Amino acid sequence: MLALINATLIDGTGARPRKGMKVLIDGKKIAAVGRYIIIPEDARVIDLKCRVLMPGLIDAHAHLGDHPYKDRPGIDSAERSDFYANMRKLTLEAGVTTIRSCGDYMYDTALARDRINSGELTGPRLICSGKSFMRRDGHPATTVWASDPATVENCGAYPTAPDDARVMVREAAQAGMDFIKIIVSDVHISYWPKKAEQLETKIIEAIIDEAHKHGKPVACHVDNLDQANLVLDFGADEIHHLANIGSPRYELAEYGKLFLRMCEKNIWLVPTLAAPRAFDSARMAKKCIDGSVDYTANVLRSAYEYGVPFGLGCDSGCPGVPWGKCVWEEMAEYVYNIGMSPLEAIRCATANNARMIGMETQLGTVRAGTFADLLVLDKDPTEDIGNLDSVSLVIRAGVITKEGRSA
């Protein structure tokens, strides 16, 4: 057993930090949480000396085999990346203990997930979508993937009719994918101001319907208001991005009906502000006036004010968005540009994300019965969200994966 004592506990629910707390870990899970719990004599005890203890962070939108600095085209396989070794290292160092693959090699990510779960590999908990459903001639195949043949064939599903789409969804379900990812897109800074075709409406409807028949939630990449309304019409569970670089501007008031629908149906919004922030220099170089980061932040602030439920993901792995620390940066965006308190941003990256992925009884909060996915900070992030950079201890499923500050 492992006992953490004298902790200042942020439990992930949005509650204020509590001092003098103890957490007892038995195997992979938390056995008890409280001030007065009895610590077994044979337990290893770590005195946190009032440092902050909180749930491990969750990145709800990532690409495991992509290259943040784009030194080569496309997305790597497990073989080429040593089973995503760089991603596994950087995420855990930053206290990110769960990461959600939103478009990678399907069978490779499933195998990596299983090897991590068995303890053969050290890494964050993986949630996998496998291939992204998309058009072969659109984003990201012809943009950030740079038409790399291996990536195009292994990371994308390209249905040309509703029946094709249903077959491909069934293949993903049989391969053990946890959810389905659809890209509904007609713009990207790579070819702005030109537009591309987006997936046909009947194909989108078929993907979502078949996914739900197999019990798989559907996350939809959308670039604008019309696309968001379209996927909601067919029952999408999550909207990612919403207002992208190069997408047309709408007046903020025009989003009101969408946000009300999202509130009523409990549809999650995962903005990934880190990505347009990274692409903003390219936007300015192209003199693109559409979909600036400031405009996107205004849209997201309005969504927050309406009460839309927020998850948190970064599009990590894409150009300019390295794994791990990007989650800290995304949480800072939530505080400084969307208007959340630090506690609310923390909840988005922990309890909210866990609920969004259907694992709220297992992840995202510090309480008895959940997996012991935890991190310790030397400084309090509720006082300054920038204090997330003080991670000094990371525990993943009861095993210490980092002890001591990084150099």
Query: Residues 41, 46, 52, CA angle at the centre, nearest 5°?
Result: 135
The secondary structure of 361-397, three-state, reads CCCCCCCCCCECCEEEECCCCCCCHHHHHHEEEEEEC
13, pLDDT greater than 80 = yes
> Are 89 and 198 found together in one domain?
yes
pLDDT > 70 fraction of the chain, expressed in percent and rounded = 100
**Number of domain units in the chain:** 2
Residues 9 and 65 in one domain: no
Same domain, 181 and 225: yes
Query: Do 200 and 70 belong to one domain?
Result: yes
Q: What is residue 90's predicted lDDT score, i.e. its pLDDT?
A: 98
Asked if residue 71 and residue 10 are part of one domain, the reply reads no
Specify whether 82 is located in the same domain as 144.
yes
- pTM comes to 0.97
Same domain, 296 and 390: no
What confidence tens digit (pLDDT) does each residue in 214-236 have? Answer: 999 999 999 999 999 999 999 99
What CATH number should be reported for the domain holding residue 41?
A: 2.30.40.10
Same domain for 375 and 258? no
Are residues 36 and 75 both part of a single domain?
Answer: no
**Domain shared by 97 and 244, yes or no:** yes
Domain membership of residue 371 as a residue range: 2-55+365-403
Cα gap 323→329, rounded to integer Å: 11
Supply the CATH number for residue 242's domain.
3.20.20.140
- DSSP one-letter code for 334: I
Q: Tell whether 201 and 61 lie within a shared domain.
A: yes
How confident is the model over 335-378, as pLDDT tens digits?
Answer: 999 999 999 999 999 999 999 999 999 999 999 999 999 999 99
Q: Helical H runs in 254-349?
A: 256-265, 274-285, 293-306, 325-333, 342-347
Report which residue type is found at 265.
K
CA torsion sign for 16, 18, 24, 25 is: positive
Percent of the chain whose pLDDT exceeds 90: 88
Asked whether residue 63 falls in the same domain as residue 49, the answer is no
Are the C-beta atoms of 394 and 374 separated by less than 8 Å? yes
